[in-house]
């Protein structure tokens, strides 16, 4: 029996070699189909309904355009042909009419894409351990567990359990910070830039801060020390020259309007050659003679001597305090290996002033940051166990031999996935710490280099895009006519996931490149 024309299952008869026209069903027929119920349960009826309407409207417009093009003798668009083919293939496989089964597959894909998180896990194969764009330090398990607990329970964030009265959230980590740095007091804000801003606004509002010209750094995102000073209400007093600054330069600049003498860690560059800078042990006594506080923006900031782990020396916070600094600011998510935050340690009277600044409330951290920071700081009480327990240090001290063995294990499946268009080789390479730590020092590493075998246009760029389009995006770096996948930051569990999705990479190598951006 032939279905009436009004039936959703009706289709136009075939004419010549043309495929039968696809009829699009009403929204309520899609929603009432048993195959749609799992989507409604997962995404809700409202969102599923809206997505179904949008999908049908898009299909209807494209199918009508294809019919007009066909009537004019023009070929259907690639996108329209893709829609029709997807509906036909999915329907045939499901053994159901094209009006429902194929559309449900497309609807599921649309809902999945719409609900995919913007913040996604990726493989960091760039060779930069503390990569600013990829979230910097990875937290150790103890910190991850502490954050999970803080998400599930109310916490004594500003409540003194012993006295039953309101407390100070800084007290949750201050004792540990004083033990590890030798400072008198400490306070925590959102990041190191916020720490510098708060410090300057509190102690130098409308007054001068003396800084060497060679230390007026610009960090990532075009944030510059002079700009931060301006926003803080401080007056920058530059001394010396780009490459040479002497103690007398500071002495001649000191006056009644001077609030601070400040040193800034040159975290992302190094000046070499004919240079001269004034070190803190020289500057601090001069500042005390003029009754001026000395502040140090240490940038990355480390709490232990990295040389004991075979890494280049980086000045520690304790060394900076011992050298005479009245205040030191540093980051929590760089060499320290903790969550994003800015830490200020130093003289108790100066910290007390800083904590009274109204901006402190605007820049303070929440319970999740403090929940993560405390167990990270606690790890430093056992420095001999730190390379095993602190994720950042574990990655920085990873032996090249382990990465070489990993590269040999991955090489064959990666080559099989890429095919003859690319050649994969296991090669030594160099990693860097990143995020403003030891900018000129590199770490011996090992990984995979991928080079195109032909002369296809932008072959490396296209491969990089395909790797980024995987369920777990792979982020490498293109340099010297190769795509480099540094394995320093790939642990054993991540290696299994990396290899597991190579089959999907192989399936997509001949397919059109995915559209850029989020669907």
**Which pair of tokens denotes residue 464?**
């990089």
For each of the chain's 519 residues, which pLDDT tens digit applies? 334 333 344 344 444 455 455 678 899 999 999 999 999 999 999 999 999 999 999 988 888 887 776 655 444 444 455 555 555 554 444 444 556 888 999 999 999 999 999 999 999 999 999 999 999 999 999 999 999 999 999 999 999 999 999 999 999 999 999 999 999 999 999 999 999 999 999 999 999 999 998 888 776 656 788 899 999 999 999 998 878 889 999 999 999 999 999 999 876 556 777 778 889 999 999 999 999 999 999 988 899 999 999 998 899 999 999 999 999 999 999 999 999 999 999 999 999 999 999 999 999 999 999 999 999 999 999 999 999 999 999 999 999 999 999 999 999 999 999 999 999 999 999 999 986 665 557 899 999 999 999 888 899 999 999 999 999 999 999 999 999 999 999 998 899 999 999 999 998 887 777 666 543
Strands 123-124 and 482-486: unpaired
DSSP character string of 398-417: --HHHHHHHHHHHHHHHHHH
On the CB side of 205, how many CA atoms lie within 13 Å of its CA?
A: 8
* pLDDT score at 270: 67
CA dist., res. 186 & res. 347, Å (int): 8
Q: Which of 496, 473, 493 is nearest to 485 (CA)?
A: 473
Torsion over CA: 334, 337, 340, 345 (sign):
negative
Q: Which of 420, 434, 511, 429 is nearest to 469 (CA)?
A: 511
* pLDDT score at 417: 96
CA dist., res. 246 & res. 453, Å (int): 56
CA dist., res. 397 & res. 422, Å (int): 31
**H-helix segments, 254-366:** 280-289, 317-322, 348-356, 359-363
* pLDDT score at 516: 64
Residue in the block written with tokens 């029709």: 84
Q: How far is CA 212 from CA 229, 253, 450, 452, in A?
A: 14, 11, 45, 48
The helix or strand, by DSSP H or E, that contains position 445, with its residue range, turns out to be strand 437-452
**What is the CATH code for 141-385?**
3.40.640.10
Q: Which of 20, 29, 23 is nearest to 4 (CA)?
A: 23
Strand partners, 264: 297
The helix or strand, by DSSP H or E, that contains position 427, with its residue range, turns out to be strand 422-434
**Which pair of tokens denotes residue 389?**
């327990």
CATH architecture under which domain 123-131+395-508 falls: Alpha-Beta Complex (3.90)
CA dist., res. 249 & res. 233, Å (int): 23
Q: What are phi and psi of 456, to 5 degrees?
A: -65, 145
**Which pair of tokens denotes residue 242?**
């780009």
pTM for this entry: 0.85
DSSP character string of 167-202: --TTHHHHHHHHHHH--SEEEEESSHHHHHHHHHHH
On the CB side of 484, how many CA atoms lie within 13 Å of its CA?
A: 18
**Residue 423 near residue 465 (C-beta atoms within 8 A):** no
Q: Which of 326, 299, 279, 276 is nearest to 225 (CA)?
A: 299
**Residue 114 near residue 419 (C-beta atoms within 8 A):** no
Label residue 512 left, alpha or beta by phi (over 0 means left) and psi (-120 to 50 means alpha): beta
On the CB side of 477, how many CA atoms lie within 13 Å of its CA?
A: 15
Quote the strand ranges of 117-275, DSSP E: 123-124, 159-160, 165-166, 185-189, 208-212, 218-219, 223-224, 235-239, 258-264
Q: What are the residue ranges spanned by the domains of the chain?
A: 27-114, 123-131+395-508, 141-385
Q: How far is CA 310 from CA 306, 393, 447, in A?
A: 7, 11, 21
């Amino acid at each position: 029996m032939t279905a009436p024309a009004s039936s959703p299952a009706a289709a136009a008869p075939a004419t010549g070699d043309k495929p039968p026209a696809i009829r699009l069903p009403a929204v309520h027929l899609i929603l009432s189909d048993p195959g749609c119920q799992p989507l409604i349960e997962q995404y809700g009826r409202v969102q599923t309904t809206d997505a179904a309407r949008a999908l049908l409207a898009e299909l209807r417009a494209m199918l009508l355009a294809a019919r007009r093009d066909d009537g004019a003798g023009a070929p259907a668009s690639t996108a329209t042909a893709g829609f029709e083919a997807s509906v036909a293939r999915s329907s045939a496989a499901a053994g159901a009419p094209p009006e429902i089964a194929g559309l449900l597959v497309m609807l599921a894909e649309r809902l999945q894409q719409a609900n995919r998180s913007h913040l996604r896990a990726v493989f960091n194969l760039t060779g930069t351990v503390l990569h600013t764009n990829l979230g910097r330090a990875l937290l150790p398990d103890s910190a991850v567990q502490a954050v999970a607990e803080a998400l599930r329970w109310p916490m004594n964030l500003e409540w003194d359990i012993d006295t039953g009265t309101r407390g100070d959230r800084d007290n949750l980590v201050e004792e540990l910070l004083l033990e590890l740095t030798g400072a008198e007091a400490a306070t925590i804000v959102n990041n190191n830039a916020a720490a510098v801003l708060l410090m300057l606004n509190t102690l130098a509002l409308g007054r001068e801060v003396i800084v060497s010209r060679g230390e007026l750094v610009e960090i990532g995102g075009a944030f510059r020390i002079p700009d931060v000073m301006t926003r803080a209400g401080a007056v920058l007093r530059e001394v010396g020259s780009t490459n040479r600054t002497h103690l007398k330069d500071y002495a001649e600049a000191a006056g009644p309007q001077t609030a601070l003498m400040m040193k800034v860690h040159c975290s992302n560059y190094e000046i070499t050659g004919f240079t001269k800078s004034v070190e803190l042990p020289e500057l601090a006594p001069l500042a005390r003679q003029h009754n001026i506080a000395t502040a140090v923006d240490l940038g990355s900031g480390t709490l232990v001597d990295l040389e004991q782990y075979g890494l280049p020396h980086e000045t520690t916070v304790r060394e900076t305090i011992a050298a005479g600094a009245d205040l030191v600011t540093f980051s929590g998510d760089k060499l320290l290996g903790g969550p994003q935050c800015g830490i200020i340690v130093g003289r108790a009277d100066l910290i007390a002033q800083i904590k009274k600044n109204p901006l402190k409330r605007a820049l303070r951290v929440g319970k999740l940051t403090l929940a993560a920071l405390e167990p990270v700081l606690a790890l430093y009480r056992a420095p001999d166990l730190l390379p095993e327990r602190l994720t950042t240090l574990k990655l920085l001290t990873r032996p090249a031999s382990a990465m070489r063995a990993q590269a040999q294990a991955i090489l064959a499946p990666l080559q099989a996935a890429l095919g003859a268009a690319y050649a994969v080789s296991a090669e030594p390479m160099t990693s860097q710490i990143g995020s403003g730590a030891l900018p000129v020092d590199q770490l011996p590493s090992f990984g995979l280099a991928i080079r195109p075998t032909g002369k296809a246009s932008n072959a490396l760029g296209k491969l990089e895009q395909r790797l980024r389009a995987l369920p777990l995006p792979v982020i490498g770096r293109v340099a010297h006519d190769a795509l480099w996948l540094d394995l320093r930051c790939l642990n054993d569990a991540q290696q299994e996931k990396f290899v597991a999705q190579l089959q999907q990479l192989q399936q997509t190598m001949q397919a059109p490149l995915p559209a850029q951006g989020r669907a």
